[in-house]
């Protein structure tokens, strides 16, 4: 499974899930809860940390692909 | 991904080894890949706490929602309210497990020797399980990889033993999936302080 279809429970209404794409989050995109219309985004101070980890996983994936 | 190993000399190797060795190598490769991913997850998504237990690395996210504000004598207004919340990093990383999906081991085999063992060893598991029956003779065969028919057409003098490996995304392990689910489902509003320790990265 690649969890491309990522979603998190809405922290506000807890009724629905907010679908998101982590690369779009890194670019500053916002994602909306389909039920309560709350909008979530990544805080600017966490962008770099998240980006670094995702890049490391991408490198690892490439290494595996080249085995 | 496909890899081909050619031009090896496989003269007189037990047939079971000819077949099993590539499979064992592939299983080892798969294990190494899984270990590397597990190590990376622990390294990046968790940090060791003071008590020695691993704690999830948390990242900060913001949530904006519109709240209707009514002031007497004025029209109701929609005011955006921004709230910050913490999310375990592991729950937003798009993990993928790259695994070896299919393996094709392709070779033509010539049996160069075979021999049978007829000793009815008392310790033989078959004999112990079926004491009334005679132990069937064990046959060992030694084989070698021969030229493939299409290789002969191409005047290729080498024997051919090819292993095609196709690696593709495979399902995440149940443990990792459960862990991600657990952390994802635990995202709920918790009052937090505005303090952020820059040395530990904790809020």
Picking from B18, B4, B6, the residue whose alpha carbon sits closest to that of residue B111 is B18
CA separation for the pair B187, B58 (Å, rounded): 11
pLDDT recorded at residue A3: 47
Q: Residue A51 above 70 pLDDT?
A: yes
Distance, first Cα to last Cα, chain A: 20
Minimal-distance CA residue of chain B relative to A19: B92
Highest mean pLDDT among A34-43, B87-96, B121-130, B164-173: A34-43
For residue A15, give how far its alpha carbon lies from the nearest alpha carbon of chain B (Å). 11
pLDDT recorded at residue B97: 67
Q: Residue B38 above 60 pLDDT?
A: yes
The complex scores an ipTM of 0.84
B13 at A interface, C-beta within 8 A: no
Helix (H) or strand (E) holding A20: strand A17-20
pLDDT recorded at residue B200: 56
Position with higher pLDDT, A52 vs B119: A52
Minimal-distance CA residue of chain B relative to A35: B65
pLDDT recorded at residue B16: 78
Nearest CB neighbour to A11, from listed B94, B97, B189: B189
Rg (CA), chain A: 14
pLDDT recorded at residue B15: 76
Residue B61 structural domain: 13-185
Average pLDDT over residues B56-73: 86
Distance, first Cα to last Cα, chain B: 43
Q: String of b and e for B11-43 (b: at least 16 CB within 10 Å)?
A: eeeeeeebeeebeeebeebbeebbeebeebbee
Does the residue B196 lie in any domain? no
Q: Residue B195 above 80 pLDDT?
A: no
Does the residue B6 lie in any domain? no
pTM as predicted: 0.61
Residue B92 near residue A22, CB atoms below 8 Å: yes
Compute the mean pLDDT over every residue in chain B, rounded to the nearest whole number: 73
Residue A50 near residue B90, CB atoms below 8 Å: no
pLDDT recorded at residue B24: 86
Does the residue B119 lie in any domain? yes
Q: Residue A62 above 90 pLDDT?
A: no
């Amino acid at each position: 499974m690649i969890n491309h279809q990522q979603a998190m429970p809405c922290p506000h209404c807890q009724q629905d899930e907010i679908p998101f794409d982590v690369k779009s989050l890194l670019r500053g995109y916002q994602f909306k809860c389909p039920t309560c219309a709350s909008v979530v985004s990544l805080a600017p101070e966490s962008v770099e940390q998240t980006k670094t980890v995702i890049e490391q996983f991408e490198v690892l994936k490439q290494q595996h692909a080249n085995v | 991904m496909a890899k081909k190993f050619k031009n090896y000399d496989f003269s007189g190797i037990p047939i079971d080894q000819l077949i099993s060795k590539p499979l064992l190598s592939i299983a080892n490769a798969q294990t190494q890949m899984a270990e590397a991913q597990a190590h990376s997850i622990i390294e990046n998504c968790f940090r060791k706490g003071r008590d020695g237990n691993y704690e999830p690395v948390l990242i900060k996210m913001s949530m904006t929602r519109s709240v209707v504000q009514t002031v007497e004598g004025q029209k109701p207004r929609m005011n955006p309210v921004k709230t910050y919340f913490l999310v375990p990093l592991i729950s937003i990383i798009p993990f993928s497990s790259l695994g070896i999906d299919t393996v094709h081991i392709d070779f033509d085999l010539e049996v160069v020797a075979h021999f049978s063992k007829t000793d009815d060893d008392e310790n033989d598991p078959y004999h112990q399980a079926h004491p009334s029956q005679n132990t069937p003779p064990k046959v060992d065969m030694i084989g070698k990889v021969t030229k493939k028919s299409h290789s002969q057409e191409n005047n290729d003098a080498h024997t051919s033993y090819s292993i095609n490996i196709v690696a593709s995304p495979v399902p995440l392990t149940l443990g990792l999936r459960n862990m991600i689910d657990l952390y994802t489902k635990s995202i709920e509003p918790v009052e937090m302080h505005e303090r952020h320790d820059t040395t530990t990265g904790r809020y």
